[in-house]
Structure 1
Amino acid sequence: MDKYTIPSHLDDPELIGFWTIDEFLAMVIPFVWGILTQHILIGIAFAFAGWWGLKKAKAGRAGSWLIHLAYWHLPGGFPSLRATPPSYLRLMVG
């Protein structure tokens, strides 16, 4: 008998059903939009495309690399992404 056990699934992402949270939101948001605008089939198609596209974009990597990609390639004023501080503030930043 082993006195100590080491968990093997410590870093697994949180799941809702069979999907990670970001995949779930990529499916639910277009589906709800389709219901609200009375275009259910278009909503289902966009939900499937969103889930499939996000799954292919992640492709075995952590989901955080998409956030890093968005940080560097989207404009600075994009919502919820902090901008790099200007060069004259580099002493204050550390």
Structure 2
Amino acid sequence: MEPVSLPKHIDDPIHLILWPADEMAAFVTCLIGGMLIGQLILAVAIGVMAVKFYRRFRDNRPDGYPLHAAYWLGLLPSRAVTIPNPFIRRYLP
């Protein structure tokens, strides 16, 4: 049998080029916005700053915080029976 190399951290998010996928999404959003308005250099600079601020935001909170915050704001609706509607803030009997 040949030895199999395992990654150091199994639960790490997918990395695309330099950044994890969630950080890359912030950069690509700024990049596409810059292409649409014709200011690519400015958008790249704003994208790098957005990744820096998002990384600082994400590192100071528990794992999965952005996903839970997106659900709480109603950005990730689900038709599942076990997941309540995020806009119902108070349940009455």
The TM tier, using the shorter chain, reads 0.5 to 0.7
Q: Which consecutive segments of 4 or more residues in structure 1 shift more than 6 A?
A: none
Equivalent pairs counted in the alignment come to 81
Amino acid at match of 1:80: L
Residue aligning to 1:9: 9
Aligned residues of 2:34 and 2:43 also touching (Cα < 8 A): yes
Structure 1 segment 15-94 matched on structure 2, within 5 A = 15-59=15-59, 61-62=62-63, 64-72=64-72, 74=73, 78-82=74-78, 83-84=85-86, 87=91
Structure 2 SS opposite 1:25: helix
CA contact (8 A) 2:71 2:77 kept: yes
Aligned CA RMSD, in angstroms, stands at: 3.0
Give 1:85 deviation, angstroms: 7.9
Counterpart of 2:58, as a letter, is: K
Q: TM-score, normalised by structure 1?
A: 0.64
Q: State the Cα distance separating 1:49 from its structure 2 match.
A: 1.9
CA, structure 1 residues 5+48, in 2 after alignment: closer, same or farther (shift >3 Å)? closer
Q: TM-score scaled by structure 2?
A: 0.64
Larger CA Rg, structure 1 vs 2: 1
2:82 corresponds in structure 1 to none
Write the distance in 2 (CA, Å) between the matches of 1:30 and 1:67. 20
CA contact (8 A) 2:71 2:86 kept: no
Name structure 1 gaps, 5 residues minimum: none
Aligned-residue sequence identity (percent) comes to 21
Deviations 1:53-88 (A, max 9, x none): 1111112753x112223434x3xxx33245248535
